Chain A
Amino acid sequence: MSTVEQTPPTPGSGGPPSAPAPRGHGSGAVTGVAWTVLPYVASVVLAFLVGGLLIQAMGYSAVDALEAVLTSSFDSRFGMVETLHKWVPIVLCAYAFAIPLATGKFNIGAEGQLLLGATGGAAIGITFSDLPAVLLLPAMLVAGVLAGALWAGIAAVLLVRFRVNEVLSTVLLNFVSFRLIDWVATSVWPDAGAGHPATTPVGDGARLPLIGEAPGLHSGVLLVLALAVFIAVGMRFTPTGFEMRAVGDNPRASLINGVKTSRLAGAGLVIGGGAAGLAGAIDVAGVQGRMLEGMQSNFLILGIIVGLMARGSMLALPFIAFGIAVLEFGAGTMQLVASVPVEMVLVIEALILLFLLLSDIVRNRLRGAA
């Protein structure tokens, strides 16, 4: 386990936890892609098999349940829109986890960063509700990004200046954020009629334009799509992206070769926080129209799952996030049509993750035998 002097060692060894996506053995891009995709497919199939057995054993219909999980996103326009609306925060929270992870840091604070982003966005959207969309919408998205980045920035400063472990600080900051937004939603801009801690609605100019007839797809999806391309390219082709991966691989070697490691580790957290903050702002602008308690849903956990499953590949990440969004949306339908408890989906997701890990071992054995 290698460590940098400036920053404390992180649990989970110096590097990202999983091996990078397997390389094709010089035998062409096609086999390369196959080697990358195959473990995912196999893991999903196995997880559904085991999950299905569990469901059957509990006395429900596994076929109905799994069919619901897998098809409901695709059999209606509504299903696809809902899935994509879930995909946005999942993929952004996955970045919030995966980008700091590239530098070897664990950001467990996407919840808080998302909530702060939502609050920042809502603050602008409420305060300047009369502004036209051309001004208000960008302003609130930027505010969301900044608020999320700032919140993660606390952890970054604690890490870089005071060597406070980031797992600890980001976890604690989540708890702080819950209280903070509760205060905002019940005392600063409370909506008396909401029956739930929620701010008053943001102005019309703060709403993302919808695409297509109702239920419309909010245009934040396109924004995130563009961002995904940007991040994938940035991590692979920019010097900063390279430095981040280098720091994650070996912080000391990076330091010696001119990389400002601790600053970069801090920057990774801040960028991740910005991504989560954007998720919050987009959710306000595109879906909820206000900041409300609980809007972080379980995106922290899903983001971590996706971030881990992506194994350092910013290219694979959005696709995996889509898969998880399909599962998550399907889970609701599964409960509806087969009465299977929603907890089942958590179990299936855990199984996918475990099988994916095990696939590494299988592949290494195969490689060894070859």
Chain B
Amino acid sequence: MSEFLTLVVPMWVVFTLAAQGTILSGRTGVFNVTQEGVMALGASVGFVVAYKMGSNLGGLLIAFAVGALVGLVLTVMTTQLRLDQFVVGLALFFAATGAAGLLYREVIGVTMTPPKIDTLTKHEIPLLSDIPVIGEPLFRQDYVFFFVVLLSVGLYWFMQRTGAGLNFRSVGENPKAADSLGINVNLARTWSTIVGSGLVAVAGAYFPLHFTGIYTDGMIAGRGWLVIALAFLGGWRPLYVVAGAAFFAGMDVLGQKAQVIGLGVPHQFIEMLPYVATLLVMVFAFRWARQPAHLGSNYDRESRLAG
């Protein structure tokens, strides 16, 4: 069990981080579909900076900044110019994917051995890490893990428990109503998209910084798209996302475990399990899988059609 948790936690970190970033902007109505690209860019930037500066924290922070920049472009294009969110998002996805590869190639170039960085070190929380079963996997972790835990709780607190969160959520539910009460719709959308996109990039940076120590093209391998699925699965709510991410990561690890143990089933079918299971869960998820009413639609104060 402890081993299982240890294996699950890293992928949980990735999924949670990226999905929290996604729902953050989603709750204000910005439907971000750039994840696959922004995570790749985050991985590339995170690695390149960590390698050149010799600082993993630097890599994470700059990755955040670059992701935030993509978020800024997305939000300017959609809130100021009111271009379609989905189309702009896809365009940015292409651009970010291209930029990720270009950056690595320009800075690192062709090398015989891929340059490698030291991955994040684990920190131990005294006492707690001695708890049987969960102590080792949950309390001996790198700081990104602890950050994600705090972030998730913080987001929950902010969205569900504070007045600011009440105002914040209303932007995605009925922007016109929010606007008419003096809530700055564009501001909320802008900052949530910038921060959210930054978080997505950090999730990408976690790949070289935690898993591999190197950057490779295509290392996100479609997980960015899964993040979008996860946001829906989690009903765009922080704590549900935490659970959903655990489900995704858990199924992933279980699939591998099944192969290692050897079930006599072709391994491809075992690898399908997480996706099939998610689809099955979604069949029953309509109870909680509600999405913000104005997810994906732009707000134009003076338009009579919108809202």
Contact = CB atoms under 8 A, between A and B. Distances in A.
Interface string A329-370: 000000000000101111101110110011011000000000
Contact of B279 (A167, A172, A304, A360): A172
B177 to A, nearest CB: 14
Contacts of B83: 357-358, 360-361
Interface centre among A168, A169, A304 (most CB of B within 10 A): A168
Contact of B86 (A11, A169, A360): A11
A350 B84 contact: no
A183 B269 CA distance: 8
Interface string B61-88: 0000000000000000100010111111
A81 B276 CA distance: 39
B77 A357 contact: yes
B268 A305 contact: no
A168 B90 contact: no
B98 interface: yes
Interface stretch (A69-77, A84-92, A156-164, A273-281): A156-164
Contacts of B294: 1
B31 A11 contact: yes
A350 B92 contact: yes
A58 interface: yes
Contacts of B124: none
B228 A167 contact: yes
Contacts of A31: none
Contact of B296 (A11, A174, A183): A11
B81 A358 contact: yes
B165 interface: no
Nearest to B292: A11
Contacts of B51: none
Interface in B290-307: 291, 293-298
Given A183-B268, A187-B266, A167 B87 contact: no
Nearest to A179: B268
B88 A354 contact: yes
Contacts of A8: 286, 291
A308 interface: yes
B95 A12 contact: no
B95 A10 contact: no
Given A1-B297, A11-B86, A346 B279 contact: no
Nearest to A1: B297
B284 to A, nearest CB: 8
**Residue of A58, A341, A354 with most partner-chain B CB within 10 A:** A354
Given A1-B293, A12-B297, A171-B229, A353 B90 contact: yes
Interface string B96-115: 01110110011000000000
Nearest to B276: A176
Interface in A152-200: 158, 162-165, 167-169, 171-176, 179-180, 182-183, 186-187
Contacts of B296: 1, 10-13
Contacts of A347: 94-95, 98-99, 102
A108 interface: yes
A12 B31 contact: yes
Contact of B102 (A13, A183, A343): A343
A163 B285 CA distance: 9
Interface in A1-26: 1, 8-13, 17-18
Contacts of B157: none
Interface of B: 31, 77, 81, 83-88, 90-95, 97-99, 101-102, 105-106, 222, 225-226, 228-229, 232-233, 266, 268-269, 271-272, 275-276, 278-279, 282-283, 285-286, 289, 291, 293-298
10 contacts: A1-B293, A11-B295, A12-B297, A17-B87, A164-B279, A165-B291, A346-B94, A351-B95, A354-B91, A357-B77
